[in-house]
Amino acid sequence: MAERTLIIIKPDAVQRHLVGQILSRFETKGLKIVAAKFMQISKELAQKHYAAHEGKPFFKGVVEFLSASPVMVLVLEADGVIAMSRKLMGKTFGNEAEPGTIRGDFGACRGFNLVHGSDSPESAEYEIGLYFKSEEIVDYTFADDHWLYGSNE
């Protein structure tokens, strides 16, 4: 099975009408959407999501932010999906991110960063489990799978 990652299109992106544009970046790259839902994250779920940061000065703020408005939560799949999606997102803060990345093109500050992506296979497994039951993740093959992921070797 190919690698999976959790992506959250965050409240600032939803409020700024950017969900479709951000989602299209991942789709255009060829990353497979295997689960998706539009939802309101509770403060309790946001605390679980950011549990590794509990006790840090920014913990309360990120919990408040993630639960402030609806989000689009996705599971993407492809070989190397974590590294690819993190490159597509760009540096953490929009005011530092490179043009051509999601945060570089749509972000302008340190406070809101539009999108979350798992940073390792371990965090992806944990995070996916917070938002999706296994039966909500769809296994399928793209019709153009060979052209996206193939090799000419």
CATH classification number, 4-131, choose in 3.40.50.720, 3.30.70.141, 3.20.20.70, 3.20.20.140: 3.30.70.141
Confirm if 70 and 11 have CB atoms less than 8 A apart.
yes
Nearest to 13 by CA among 117, 128, 113, 119: 113
In whole angstroms, what is the distance from residue 10 CA to residue 71 CA?
A: 5
Please identify which of the residues 17, 49, 53, 116 carries the catalytic annotation: 116
Is 116 an active-site residue?
Answer: yes
Task: Output the tens digit of pLDDT for each of the chain's 153 residues.
Answer: 799 999 999 999 999 999 999 999 999 999 999 999 999 999 999 999 999 999 999 999 999 999 999 999 999 999 999 999 999 999 998 999 999 999 999 999 888 999 999 999 999 999 999 999 999 999 999 998 888 888 776
Confirm if 130 and 45 have CB atoms less than 8 A apart.
yes
Confirm if 95 and 110 have CB atoms less than 8 A apart.
yes
pLDDT on residue 88: 98
